[in-house]
Structure 1
Amino acid sequence: MPTAFTTSLSEAPDGGRVLTLTGEIDLTNAEEFRAALAAAVRGTGSVTVDLTRIDYLDSSALSTLFACTEDHDVRIVAPSLLSRVLRVSGLTEVATVTIVD
């Protein structure tokens, strides 16, 4: 059974925000993810998206992340499990991506 999708927003020491996500991001919760990311960037120029507890993400999640990079400084912290999809999608070219184990 998949892990439930959750979001948590906190302030980063640099004044930006950190959006921590858990579970899977797919079409069933894509709108919830979009809303959480929109809230995270509202009123700030940068956001760190912590994907270290994400087990799976689909093209809707990638599309949301790409759209956010158009107007904001996006940093992504992700597990090695997601490194290939982030690289192949081209997201590593438009956002700062840090892979952690």
Structure 2
Amino acid sequence: MALFEARTSAEDGRAVVSLVGECDLTVRDELTAALLAAVDSAPVTVVDLAGLRFIDSSGVHGLVKGHHAAQRQGHRLHVVNASGTVAQVLEMTGIGQLLAPPVNGTGPVS
């Protein structure tokens, strides 16, 4: 298995980007390209982090860049299924809360 993979699919009118492996500086461009393409393709992008084992500041930056691109288009980007050290990094940086899906039942919850 590769150290990092970003798989994009369409589900229920939204783009789902599933990240697998380790997200660091070496895959920054791949992450950014996947997120920007997903944001361009659907009004809601869900980034599924269930398969992600590691994320550093480059990965966090990619998520923020995707979020800003979504906002510029009037779209939304959310992260779901973070666990372990990935969840800790997102919590420490505030990105987990910023990109959390709505909990009122009106948004995409994975």
What is the TM-score of this pair, normalised by structure 1? Answer: 0.83
Structure 2: stretches of 5+ with no match in the other structure: 102-110
Query: CA-to-partner distance for each residue in 1:33-70, whole Å, 9 max, x for gaps?
Result: 11111111113221000111011011011011112222
Structure 1: stretches of 5+ with no match in the other structure: none
Q: Give matches, 1:1-101, under 5 Å.
A: 4-13=3-12, 15-70=13-68, 71=71, 72-81=75-84, 82-96=86-100
How much is the aligned-residue C-alpha RMSD, in angstroms? 2.0
SS in 2 for 1:21: strand
Separation of aligned partners in 2, 1:5 and 1:68: 18
Separation of aligned partners in 2, 1:93 and 1:22: 21
State the number of aligned residues: 96
Q: Specify the code of the residue in structure 1 equivalent to 2:3.
A: A
Pick the structure with more helix per residue.
2
Q: For the Cα contact (< 8 Å) 1:69–1:94, is it kept in 2? A: no
* C-alpha deviation, 1:79, in angstroms: 3.2
Separation of aligned partners in 1, 2:90 and 2:66: 15
Give structure 1 regions of 4+ aligned residues with deviation exceeding 6 angstroms.
none
What is the TM-score of this pair, normalised by structure 2? Answer: 0.77
